[in-house]
Amino acid sequence: MSRILTLLNTTGGVGRTTSALSMAVAFSEYGKKVLLIDCDPQGALTFTLGKENSRRTAYDIFSGRERALGMIHQTAERVDLIPASPKLSGDLKIKDDRMLFDALAKFEYDIIIIDTASGLSRLNQLVLATADEFIIPTRLDLLSVRGALQIAKESARYRGKIRAILPTMVEARSKHGIEMVELLREKFGALVIEPGIPKSPLFADAALAGASLLSHKKASDIAGMYREITYDFL
Ligand SMILES: Nc1ncnc2c1ncn2[C@@H]1O[C@H](COP(=O)(O)OP(=O)(O)OP(=O)(O)O)[C@@H](O)[C@H]1O
Ligand SMILES: [Mg+2]
């Protein structure tokens, strides 16, 4: 059975997809066999990895057809991917809360990382029921932190554990940002990764190049930060 991590926040644009890809590549650099699953119907991760319009996608898990193997695509980042489909936002044939977990049980990976959409959809609840460990990325603004608190509260109903709160797009010396970190620390203590990932234009460059930051700007400080954060998960 693989170890299953997921990145969640009910608020959008907080760095879930960026962190999912960066950590997946870092795990792979550390010699782990990694599978990424894109459970966001918008498919940003799938797009970045050049697998848009794949015929076999994560939707197959919820379509009532049992054809698991063809869903897995190899990528240029040396991690495998189950791509998203826009159909993931439609009606899914969900038998029960264990459905995704059972579908993943037959895969042999060291780590499976699930990227999610914002909100508290039925699909996200299924992901919550499936993962062993939750990572909550958040920008340091009130709405993103509110989203982090919402998902933390929701996650308490499930078996998995919150493993880290990851501040993203951190602007050094922002008074508001410092207050938000204090608030997070009050609530989550040592789970808050400090100082988090700084805001950097390198992410936009990497996205344009259709690559992860870790392969696009291998030697950058920020790539190193994602490696360090991931190291603590080994
Ligand atoms: N540390 C960072 N510095 C600057 N830009 C960043 C950083 N991390 C992510 N970004 C950019 O911010 C945007 C949102 O990040 P990302 O897509 O990872 O968030 P998300 O939570 O997955 O968003 P969505 O709600 O769209 O799924 C992207 O354009 C991404 O390239
Ligand atoms: Mg995303």
Nearest atom of ligand 1 to the alpha carbon of 40: 27
Range of the domain at 208: 3-231
- In three-state form (DSSP H/G/I as H, E/B as E, the rest C), the secondary structure along 21-69 is HHHHHHHHHCCCCEEEEEECCCCHHHHHCCCCCCCCCHHHHHCCCCCCH
Closest-CA residue to 131 (of 233, 29, 226, 25): 233
Residue 91's pLDDT is what? Answer: 86
Q: Quote the number of domains for the chain.
A: 1
Residue 150's pLDDT is what? Answer: 98
Contact indicator for 36, 4 with CB cutoff of 8 Å: no
Does ligand 1 lie within 6 Å of residue 160's CB atom?
A: no
Residue 1's pLDDT is what? Answer: 87
Residue 68's pLDDT is what? Answer: 59
CB atoms within 10 A of CB 159: 11
Residue 66's pLDDT is what? Answer: 61
CATH of the domain at 90: 3.40.50.300
Does ligand 1 lie within 6 Å of residue 207's CB atom?
A: yes
Q: What is the pLDDT along the chain (234 residues), one digit of tens a residue?
A: 899 999 999 999 999 999 999 999 999 999 999 999 999 999 999 999 999 999 999 999 988 776 656 899 999 999 999 999 999 999 898 889 999 999 999 899 999 999 999 999 999 999 999 999 999 999 999 999 999 999 999 999 999 999 999 999 999 889 999 999 999 999 999 999 999 999 999 999 999 999 999 999 999 999 999 999 999 999
Does ligand 1 lie within 6 Å of residue 167's CB atom?
A: no
Residue 29 CA to residue 25 CA, distance in Å, equals 6
Number of residues that make up the chain: 234
**In sequence order, what are the residues at sequence separation of 6 or more whose Cβ sits closer than 8 angstroms to the Cβ of residue 219?**
none
Ligand 1 centroid to residue 30 C-alpha, Å: 24
Nearest atom of ligand 1 to the alpha carbon of 222: 1
- Express as a percent the part of the chain with pLDDT over 70: 98
Contact indicator for 139, 15 with CB cutoff of 8 Å: yes
Residue range 144-183, pLDDT digits in tens: 999 999 999 999 999 999 999 999 999 988 999 999 999 9
